Chains A and B, each alone.
Chain A
Amino acid sequence: MYSFERLFRLHSGKEHLQKKRIVVPHSTEDEELSELLKLYKGNKIRTTKYSLLSFLPKNLFEQLHRFANVYFIFLAALNFVPVVEAFQPEISVIPIILVLSVTAVKDIWEDYCRFKVDHLINRLLCHVYCSTQKTYVDKCWMDVRVGDFVRLSCNEIIPADMLLLYSSDPRGVCYIETANLDGETNLKQREVVSGLPLQGVEFTPESFCSRIECENPKNDLSRFRGYIEHSSGVRIGLQSSNLLLRSCTIRNTETVIGIVVYAGHETKAMMNNSGPRYKRSQLEKRLNMDILWCVVLLIIMCLSAAIGHGLWLKNLKDPVFQVDDETSPALAGFYVFWTMIIVLQVLIPISLYVSIEVVKLGQIYFIHNDLALYNEQLDSRIQCRALNITEDLGQIQYLFSDKTGTLTENKMVFRRCSIYGVEYPHEENGRRLEVYEAEKNEAAGQSVTLKSGCSGKSLSYRSLSCNRSSVSLHTLTAESAEEDDQVSSHVQPRTNAFCSRMEVVPDPQLVRKLKLLCSPVVHLSDCSSGNTSTLELSYITDFFLALAICNTVVVSSPSQSPHEASEIRTPLKSLEEIKQMFQRFSFSPFSALTSHSPPQIEDSPQSRASRDTKTNPDMAGQGVENLNREMDSDGDTHSELLYEAESPDEAALVHAAQAYCCTLRCRTAESLLVDLPGLGSLAVPLLHILPFDSNRKRMSVVVRHPLTGQVVVYTKGADSVIMDLAETPKEQTQKHLDSYAREGLRTLCIAKKVPLLEEYDVWLKDQLLAESSIENREELLLASAERLETNLTLLGTTGIVDRLQEEVPETIETLQRAGIKVWVLTGDKQETAINIAYACKLLHANDQLLTANCGSKNACAALLEELKLEVQCGEGSMTDLTARVESSSGSVAGFILVIDGRTLNWALQEELKSNFLELTCRCKAVICCRSTPLQKSQVVQLIRDQLGVMTLAVGDGANDVSMIQVADVGIGISGQEGMQAVMSSDFAISRFKHLSKLLLVHGHWCYSRLANMILYFIYKNVMYVNLLFWYQFFCGFSGSVMTNSWVLIFFNLIFTSIPPLIYGILDQDTPADTLMEQPELYQAAHTSKVYVPNMFWITVLDAFYQSLVCFFVPYFAFAGSDVGELSFGSPINTSALLIILLHQVIESKTLTWIHILVLVLSGGSYFGFVLLFSVLCVTCSPPTNPLGVETLQMSQPLFYIICILTIVMALLPRLLLRALHNTLHPSAVLKSDQMDRMNAGKYSRRMLCWTRSHSRGNRLSVCADNAGLEPSVAEVVS
């Protein structure tokens, strides 16, 4: 009865499991619940595919899913049918065994790597609460179960998805770094479940008796729903902000305790863990077509053999050599059909698939090892994540690029700002930015002096984050060790991301004004009379204060704990004095703004600056000096401060503020510690943070002003939003904003508001209500924030530069010369996008810009028509124009289409698609701005599907992921924006400039190598198989072979298998330098494709010819003689092997010692094998016993006479055609060679002319002697 009940309970437990998950502490006394807990998966992970027992069946099963293997098995099985068997059964099993075992070994190795990683992770230790010992004990990760309490310290990795119950942070928050999960290095805040006895008190697991109900495991990282029911019966909702995710790292928090809710494979991290990418390359698709042709060929051959055999048998009248006469000719013919399929099986190049995989691995190896694709600054190589589309790199026709972080560095650096309508150009800063870049280019790699500060910092940072080991990553990317390496190699350099402070040089004018504030000389009463009004001064101070505090930057420093407040330095000026000043300012802005705008604002900065220096040169100079000195000392003391920001813009602004000595020193829950120039450290009580969201496009902090004690709201946001909200938008500032955008800077507006006390109180009530509400909290918070962020006072704007990556213009130009159309898809503003396009030479001065911005679909349709007409007209006039333009500037003028997101939306619709396509086809480049991630992928998809071209998408951010996934080749740039792009890409590079080498050299090589290898492979098989086919005409189509069956099988599998691999991995049809210098070659290779149907048939024809020669020369040589079957096959086989190997020598463009070695070894292995076999094989291999055959044959001169004739005759046509082709159409290599020689020969030519003119010499003899051998000399003569 008990067991029944138990069963029922278990059953009901399972039912529970289906709907939601109940979690209680593991030590619970409730039997039912503890049974339930046991139903949940443990934390042990196993990413391996196989176990010892399951390996064989499972692996076999998986391999049999491949068509190729099924074919092999079919053949092997066929050979076991006695009536059709061609060889001994065991021989025909060899190929399939070999192929299966090669694959199995590969699988075992991969699985073993996974196992090792799993093992390592499962054995990691963590502190788990043990209810019997009443303390935390060390437990392996794998032993952690749902319901366990886990205690983690700073920098430890979270072993399972846990609900945060306690944090040592007094606010009940903790920070986690999710880099292992999504690659974002910024810190994310997690909160303790509310309603628990909070901070201060050490959390005791015994006292925890709440019950957690949450949803079943889902893979959505950002979603977590559930509630916690306390013993008192109170239910409190749970959000994803309460959940600590497996494989994230605890940061900036000393201790946290959580209860495990999901473990092992049910954690969100593991559920998000997808396997490696598999894409099929274009070449492979076409290859399948050709393989089908091979199948057709095979069937034709087998059919003709079958019919031939039937007829032959029918015409036989009981000969003495007849074996049995019971089977009818038709049936015998049917049997022969299958026999022939076995005999001619290699015609279908199944081993080609294995070979292609090996070749691609080799190609990947070389791409991975290319120094040119290595970034020394980040110490990162290219990552090849997709292993099977290397050759697609050589076929790219369209390139879609993201802007930010792809073309640009996405290293935000404060460039200039405008405060109170006054522009501060920061010229020195701008110069420095340029210098830095130039220097970096020069010193390509070796850490530049300027960077040393950064790297030092990153080192110290790394020492702080001691546990930032790559181990944690395995939980996420436990797919293969290789991948882990890539990931881990990736994380370390990224700590450099936020060291942009080094690059901000303060504007002297602004420094001077700021100096006024801290200078004791300033008399408060005199402020208004001076050239700088106190109002402006207060604006400036507020501006920098806002820069320093209006953010969510986390400050950490290795020397001190984040919670520890540093001692306040003695202010330079008495606090009282300053307070007075600020109290005066605090109301003055309103009055000033409403009444009048100061006349001097309209002055140009230059004139003001000159006036400054005129009026107060000494003081200003001194001030700057003082400030500089102060900053230097600051630099020393604060160099240890580390800012970790959610967005690089924020970090840039904080660093900028720091450059002006407004240093954010420390952040706690309630207050911020800020250094202000001349004032020293001030604690700013933090009241609220209204975080950034994409709807509001702004964020705000509400603080109590440290000096005035007023509640102040600082808001920072996109210009469009803030300018609308600002009470009195300033024309001047708007002008500056526009000019910033034109310069390609990213703009942000800073505003402030001093709400009246009553107003604030009202808002506070609403805000608290919103914060505490459970349902639609987000909406309420949003509304609340919007209520507060009104009537703002615009303080100023900032321009942040996102520098172009090095060599971007050159790369784009190269790619365009290579015939690749470059599109830029960005979410940025149109102006910014166009400016970047200019900067990176996508747009030339003589290009015609077509802009498409329209509000409705009809307008869009009309516009597209209009633009098309324009382009058509333009093209007409352009053609005669281009000739001139080309000659003058060297670049072809063209149309550039700029289209914004809204218009793009219309254009992508079904009816307008074709118009849009037609238009874009005529444009040299297209820039899509303000486009969403979805649009990006739609555009790529449109081009890919409609035009049927090979597309490549490159991007660095999460918003590029969809585009990267849609494109044929997706390239991720491992930049500042996390690793989502990298994770979804096929190749990950660290710099845009790497694209040119990757495409032009590696892409070209990979394509030509693979295409040639495939052709060669097919040639090899057709050629060899035909030899057997021709023999059928002389053996009554009976399926006889004139070769030992082992040799027959090994011929393809061993003797001639390695050379094509080497050919496919190492051949270089054109040297890398030539490919880089002449990007046009990329296009040329592209239009005159190596691998086209024609080439396939030419290859097959050549193979037919060679096999004819190879068979019939020995045939005629032996006709009518007493030659034995195997003796006849011996010279055929040998010459076939030599022909096949020499054919490759002819086809190879380069031969290195590796080629030679492999060729010699291949030939050697054949001779070694057949000789040994013919000595040792006494009774083996029954129908074709080779004993004594080869030894006898190879001792006779006739053998060699035949071989030489056969080889030369077979290779002659190809040799001849190659030579003719090379003479008539010298390849680029030859040309460039000639160019070199020509240049080198110029001097000698001049010398020759000179000597010729002086002594009428032996012109003729020179010409005759060297006509064929020395083109350069010949050319000199002519």
Chain B
Amino acid sequence: MVKQEQELDNRPDNTAFTQQRLPAWQPMLSAGIVIPGFVLIGLAFIGIGIALFVTSRSIQVLEIDYTGVAQDSPCYRCSDPDTKDCMCSMDFSIDTLFKGPVFFYYGLTNYFQNYRRYGASKDANQLSGDLKYFTNPSSDCSPYQYDNDKPIVPCGSIANSMFNDTFKLYQIVNGTRKQVPLDGKGIAWWTDYNVKYRNPSVTPLENAFNGTVKPVFWSRPAYKLDPTDPANNGFINQDFLVWMRRAALPNFRKLYRRITEGDYAEGLPAGNYTLEIAYNYPVLSFDGEKKVVFSNVSWMGGKNEFLGIAYLVIGSLCIVMSIVMLIVYAKFKFPEED
């Protein structure tokens, strides 16, 4: 007997795995499972959809286009590319309290920050404060790599094209202009500010930029971006960081400031306002538009009606489907079994 057992050493193992008899769940999508499933999904979606819709409704958004294409626009004068250091102001009014914290965005349309060659045109090592790359920027930055054989810092197209309009917001209180304090701190990503972008550890910062030139388009070198706050200069300038985080789509807005301080911590009260714009950025050449956007945010982000509606539609579709399935099931299934 022992011998015979030895003889059978070729015998396959009789395990559930080798014999393909593993206990298996068969996801049989019969009507019996699908109909209740659809009903449940439908109900859940309708619930979420309603919540989203209501939330989205409660979000206030105020958009002001200041491109100045139209002749009656206060900024029409500035839209001429030959005009330098042009200032214009837009007036607007708010009917009800614009609940805070209010987010102050600037928006651009038809602007392709996601253009592949544009996106690649920067030097990550330079921006992380590596002095080696100050004198010798990456070739990715080309044609914004050197200006008259001097390395450009920060190099590249993204940095070069940095948005340089600035805004001041005034509330008109009894005919006088009361400046609304704008909070420019923490508008960039924490990781960008603390990890990704670093100034070279040279004091004063200006010395690090010796032998380099500012980007062609810029009016001031990087170490003088924010004359009011010395800590907000160089590569960790908040506006610079926001700009460097490229937008996904050609119509985008970027956070400019938040309104969180003083009398406006609760939001912008109803009333008249004036927005003073230092108009620098040319957009007309590519049919772009410039605008400012005031918005408050909720747990689901900015105002977006699409998601709520989509949830509601899909939820109702699921319910309808389950009813259809039920009918089909009843029609085709029951007679068969008689």
Contact = CB atoms under 8 A, between A and B. Distances in A.
Interface of A: 86, 316-324, 339, 366, 368-371, 374, 376, 379-381, 447, 455, 459, 489, 1031, 1034-1036, 1038-1040, 1042, 1066, 1068, 1072, 1113, 1115-1129, 1145-1146, 1148-1154, 1178-1179, 1182-1185, 1187-1188, 1191-1192, 1196-1198, 1201-1202, 1204-1205, 1208-1209, 1212, 1215-1216, 1218-1220, 1222-1224, 1226, 1229-1230, 1267-1271, 1274-1275, 1278
Q: Which of A1034, A1035, A1270, A1278 has the most CB of B within 10 A?
A: A1035
Contact of A1212 (B3, B11, B317): B317
Contact of B52 (A1031, A1038, A1201, A1224): A1201
B3 A459 contact: yes
A1028 B37 CA distance: 32
B337 A1274 contact: yes
Contact of B119 (A317, A1040, A1267): A1040
B149 interface: no
Given A1040-B114, A1188-B196, A1220-B328, A1121 B8 contact: no
Interface of B: 3-4, 7-14, 18-20, 22-36, 41, 45, 48, 52, 105, 107, 111-122, 124-125, 128, 140, 142-143, 157, 161, 189-192, 195-196, 217, 245-255, 281-283, 285-286, 288, 299-302, 304, 306-307, 310-311, 314, 317-318, 321, 325-326, 328-330, 332-334, 337-338
Contacts of A317: 285-286
Contact of B299 (A1119, A1178, A1197, A1205): A1197
A1119 B116 contact: no
A1150 B28 CA distance: 9
B268 to A, nearest CB: 19
Contacts of A447: 4
Contacts of B317: 1212
A1201 B288 contact: no
Nearest to B130: A1179
A1231 B300 CA distance: 47
Contacts of B196: 1178-1179, 1185, 1187-1188
Contact of B8 (A321, A376, A1145, A1196): A376
23 contacts: A86-B116, A317-B285, A366-B18, A374-B11, A379-B9, A1034-B250, A1038-B117, A1040-B119, A1119-B306, A1120-B249, A1123-B249, A1124-B245, A1125-B119, A1150-B25, A1178-B128, A1187-B195, A1188-B191, A1197-B300, A1208-B41, A1209-B314, A1219-B29, A1223-B325, A1268-B35
A871 B254 CA distance: 83
Contact of B251 (A368, A380, A1120): A1120
Nearest to B307: A1117
A1148 B245 CA distance: 42
Contacts of B288: 319
Nearest to B110: A319
Top 8 A-B pairs, shortest CB-CB distance: A1188-B191, A1128-B248, A319-B286, A1150-B24, A1219-B34, A1275-B337, A1038-B116, A1035-B114
Given A369-B18, A1188-B196, A1116 B32 contact: no
B8 A1151 contact: no
B329 A1223 contact: yes
B31 A369 contact: no
Given A1187-B192, A1212-B317, 4 more contacts: A319-B286, A1198-B300, A1201-B48, A1209-B314
A1075 B53 CA distance: 52
A1026 B18 CA distance: 39
Contacts, number: 284
A1205 B311 contact: yes
A1267 B286 contact: no
Q: Which of A319, A370, A376, A1271 has the most CB of B within 10 A?
A: A319
B130 to A, nearest CB: 8
A1201 B300 contact: yes
Contact of A1066 (B20, B121, B254): B20
Contacts of A1216: 34, 321, 325
A1268 B157 CA distance: 62
Contacts of B4: 447, 455
B222 to A, nearest CB: 18
B338 A1278 contact: yes
A1185 B196 CA distance: 10
Nearest to A1117: B307
Contacts of B25: 1150-1152
B195 A380 contact: no
A1218 B23 CA distance: 23
A323 B115 contact: yes
A1185 B200 CA distance: 20
A1142 to B, nearest CB: 10
A1183 B161 contact: no
Contacts of A1034: 114, 248-250
A344 to B, nearest CB: 14
Contacts of A1149: 26-27
A1072 B20 contact: yes
A914 to B, nearest CB: 44
Contacts of A1036: 112, 114-115, 250
Contacts of A1226: 30
Nearest to A326: B143
Contact of A1269 (B24, B36, B247): B36
A1153 B115 contact: no
B61 to A, nearest CB: 10
Contacts of B252: 1120-1123
A1261 to B, nearest CB: 16
Nearest to A1188: B191
Nearest to B106: A1122
A1271 B333 contact: yes
Contacts of B192: 1187-1188
B10 A379 contact: yes
Nearest to A1129: B248
A164 B29 CA distance: 73
B285 A1152 contact: no
A379 B29 CA distance: 43
Q: Which of A320, A1148, A1179 has the most CB of B within 10 A?
A: A320
Contacts of B120: 1182-1183
A1270 B111 CA distance: 59
A1159 B327 CA distance: 35
A1219 B157 contact: no
Given A319-B285, A1122-B105, A1127 B248 contact: yes
A1122 B247 contact: yes
B285 A320 contact: yes
Contacts of A1219: 29-31, 33-34, 325
A1040 B114 CA distance: 7
B281 A1268 contact: no
A310 to B, nearest CB: 14
B310 A1113 contact: yes
A566 to B, nearest CB: 28
Contact of A1188 (B3, B189, B285, B330): B189
Given A366-B18, A1151-B27, A320 B337 contact: no
B253 A1222 contact: no
Given A379-B9, A1185-B196, A1117 B128 contact: no
B286 A1218 contact: no
Contacts of B36: 1268-1269
Contacts of A374: 10-12
A1196 B195 CA distance: 21
A1039 B45 CA distance: 36
A1229 B52 CA distance: 43
Nearest to B253: A1122
A1035 to B, nearest CB: 4
Contacts of A1125: 113-114, 119, 246-248
Given A317-B286, A1212-B314, A1152 B22 contact: yes
A366 B20 contact: yes
A366 B22 CA distance: 13
